[in-house]
Amino acid sequence: MSLSPRPSATTAIDSILFRDAFGTPRMRGVFSDHALIGRYVEVEVALAKAETRCGVIPEDAAAEIAARCSADALDLDLLREETDIVGYPILPLVHQLVTQCGEAGRYVHWGATTQDIMDTAVVLQVREGLKIVAEDVAELRAILAGLARKHRDTPMAGRTHLQQALPVTFGYKAAVWLAMFDRHAERLEQLKPRVLVGQFAGAAGTLASLGTKGLEVQEALCAELGLDVPASTWHVARDGLAETLNLLALITGSLGKIALDVMIMASTEFAEVYEPFVTGRGASSTMPQKRNPISSELILAASKAVRQHAGLMLDAMVQDFERATGPWHAEWIALPESFVLTAGALNQAKFALGGLIVDDAQMAKNLGISRGLIVAEAAMMALAPHIGRQQAHDVVYAACRAVNEGGGTLAEALAREDEVTRHFDRAAIDRLTDPANYLGLAPQMVDRVLQRSGRVGPHLETAR
């Protein structure tokens, strides 16, 4: 018995199984084939309107082109076949648009080159894609601000080199995350003037086919589409699109850092945070007790993929002369996939962090497992004014060795040292070795991040 073939995707971002794990319907819609072809048609129509306004083509021709050009009426099978032959979709597209427009069809694509239409269409996609990314980043910043504010004073072990280092607060950790995305929000705005720029320059970029009207038409086309006017042709100057994708890599890189923190903190031995509970999510087919951090895993995978595409875009910047012989094509792979993956990673982050379960009791327990050694620095710095910094270091170092070798707590070991008890009674020693009393300025740093983020917190007066 043979099975009838079914159309299927071959990449994770289009897969019927994985597409909503690695992307979102909204972003896939922006970068879908139908949307891209629609953008091509939109640019061709806008060009005709611009050229009419500049007196380059008859007014009635532009009206006919605007009325009759239809992406929905295209023969997509024929478009695909001819694109495969030509190597680019615009000439086959223009063939069909000319037919759609009848007599006015002679003015379709007037003075343009293939890359003008494709580049401008991609910029329109990028504009829509950046809008979605910016909205998601804004939502995530609100979530992170809530975590930072709520857990401003929740003590936990700060870790360096995967070892307990000094106490921090979970709010401080969330504030560090928030500050990253505050900067990304700034970058998203700063990027726009450099990237949301139209492309209309003709075969070699000189607009020779339109005589003296070229720059006027270029400006009118950009106005029609709501894009900025380029200072110069950017057929082979791809820094804007490369910057866009590298910003996506920065955003997903920050998401990957958060995801890694969450995954480690969710491990059985740490058990400090958990992704939101949904029946069946993160379940194992063989181990019923498992609760895997699925969103964090997907975020980390997406961050790695976007990073690879960022490198590809940088490589594609190296283009020959006035029109490239191949690097441009790499963008067709990297751009849509990176936008979809970024949207997917942001969506997973909003879910995971928006419902993050924080076990502050377990954080406190983990903070105590070193038996006070995590605040050895506090004891040393308190003792230093009395006996000197280096002598204090040696005394506390000896006490730490005693704890490691013989058990007990740092407070007990210090209480046996004459150099310590000469200056501190047992109550003072206990206070010195309580990790909750050695948070540094972590809470105040939370306040400062919230203030700069424009999110007033309950302890804001402390930061002033």
Q: Which residues are catalytic?
A: 161, 284
11: which residues sit within 8 A by CB, 6+ positions away? 337
d(CA 113, CA 332): 18
Backbone angles phi, psi at 222, to 5 degrees: -65, -40
Structure tokens at 338: 């990176």
CA 292: distance to chain centroid?
23
How many Cβ atoms are within 10 Å of 108's Cβ, its own excluded? 26
287: which residues sit within 8 A by CB, 6+ positions away? none
d(CA 263, CA 313): 30
d(CA 118, CA 181): 31
Structure tokens at 132: 């979605």
Following DSSP, what letter does each residue of 402-437 receive, concatenated? HHHHH-S-HHHHHHT-HHHHTT--HHHHHHHT-GGG
First to last CA, the chain: 76
Residue with tokens 């407070």: 411
Q: Do residues 337 and 259 lie in contact, with contact meaning Cβ atoms separated by under 8 Å?
A: no
d(CA 363, CA 349): 22
455: which residues sit within 8 A by CB, 6+ positions away? 142, 145, 149
199 SS3 class:
coil
User: 228: number of CA atoms within 13 Å, CB side?
Assistant: 14
